[in-house]
Copies of this chain bind each other. A is one copy, B any other.
Amino acid sequence: MAPATVPALALHQRIRSDIEAKILSGEWGPGHRIPFEHELMAQYGCARMTVNKVIAGLAAAGLIERRRRAGSFVAQPRIQSAVLQIPDIPQEVTGRGAEYGYELIFRRRRRTGPRDPLASELPAGTDVLDLRCRHLADGKPFALEDRLIALAVVPEAAETDFSTVPPGSWLLGHVPWTEAEHRISAVGASLREARELELPRGAPCLCLERRTWRGADTITYARQLFRGDHYNLAARFSPQG
| Residues of chain A having any CB pair with chain B under 8 Å | 24-26, 29-30, 49, 53, 57, 60-61, 77-88, 91, 172, 176-188, 202-207, 214-215, 226, 228, 231-239, 241
B60, A176: Cβ atoms under 8 Å? no
CA distance A178 to B25 in the complex (A): 8
A185, B24: Cβ atoms under 8 Å? no
If the complex has contacts A204-B187, A204-B205, A228-B188, are A79 and B179 also in contact, measured as CB distance less than 8 A? no
Question: CB-nearest residue of chain B relative to A23?
Answer: B176
* A–B complex contacts, Cβ < 8 Å, 29 sampled: A24-B176, A24-B215, A25-B215, A29-B176, A53-B53, A77-B172, A77-B177, A79-B88, A79-B91, A80-B84, A80-B87, A80-B88, A80-B180, A83-B241, A176-B239, A177-B239, A179-B236, A180-B236, A181-B237, A183-B233, A184-B235, A185-B228, A185-B231, A185-B233, A186-B186, A186-B232, A188-B203, A202-B204, A203-B204
B236, A181: Cβ atoms under 8 Å? yes
Beyond A49-B49, A80-B85, 11 extra complex contacts between A and B, CB < 8 Å: A30-B176, A79-B86, A80-B180, A178-B238, A183-B233, A185-B233, A186-B186, A186-B204, A187-B204, A188-B203, A203-B204
B206, A184: Cβ atoms under 8 Å? yes
- Copies of this chain present in the complex amount to 2
Residues of B within 8 A of A188 (CB): 203-204, 228
A-B pairs, 8 with minimum CB distance: A186-B228, A185-B232, A204-B204, A186-B186, A186-B206, A26-B176, A80-B86, A186-B204
Residues of B within 8 A of A178 (CB): 24, 238-239
CA distance A185 to B25 in the complex (A): 31
If the complex has contacts A178-B239, A204-B205, A239-B178, are A183 and B88 also in contact, measured as CB distance less than 8 A? no
